[in-house]
């Protein structure tokens, strides 16, 4: 966790991906169609406290949200759903803080919070 805070002194964004070095930032895969995942994910994210959905583009699989941090800064978060196969969907998240200074790891924690929430909701479909 200290390492994440030190990285956060310099960097004001974080993202997930297939080749992420940190296992917690690896792309999540679910055994469900993208349309089914879209419905579940948008419903879940709308109930997430402290987050505001700015817009959703279902045909692209993109949900753009905003979160206000404890320090009053705003984070812009993009959740992207990819159709890997007709019955397998991947979810990636990009989170960036507005402003010039680092985020002290808050984007990292935001991504983990969203993934935890989605994993809980989609546990039956999770592919490890």
Contact 65, 52 (CB under 8 A): yes
> Three-state DSSP class for 20?
coil
Q: 46-83, pLDDT tens digit by residue?
A: 999 999 999 999 999 999 999 998 778 899 999 999 99
Full-model pTM: 0.91
**DSSP per residue over 53-89, as a string?**
EEEEETTTTEEEEEEE-TTS-EEEEEEEEEEEETTEE
Number of Cβ within 10 Å of residue 64's Cβ equals 16
**Residue 39 in tokens:** 């419905």
Give the integer Cα–Cα distance in Å for 79 and 89. Answer: 13
Mean pLDDT score, 99-121: 89
Domain count, the chain: 1
Mean pLDDT score, 69-98: 94
**Residue found under tokens 């993109």:** 62
CATH number of the structural domain spanning residue 7: 3.30.310.80
Q: What pLDDT score does 9 carry? A: 59
Domain span including residue 66? 2-127
């Amino acid at each position: 966790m200290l390492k994440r805070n030190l990285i956060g002194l310099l960097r004001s964004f974080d993202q997930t991906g297939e080749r992420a070095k940190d296992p917690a930032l690896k792309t999540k895969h679910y055994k469900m169609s993208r349309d089914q995942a879209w419905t579940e994910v948008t419903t879940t994210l709308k109930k997430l406290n402290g987050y505001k959905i700015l817009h959703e583009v279902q045909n692209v699989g993109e949900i753009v949200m905003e979160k206000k941090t404890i320090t009053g800064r705003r984070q812009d978060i993009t959740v992207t759903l990819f159709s890997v196969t007709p019955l397998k969907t991947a979810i990636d998240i990009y989170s960036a803080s507005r402003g010039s200074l680092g985020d002290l790891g808050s984007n990292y924690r935001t991504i983990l919070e969203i993934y935890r929430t989605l994993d809980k909701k989609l546990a039956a479909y999770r592919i490890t």
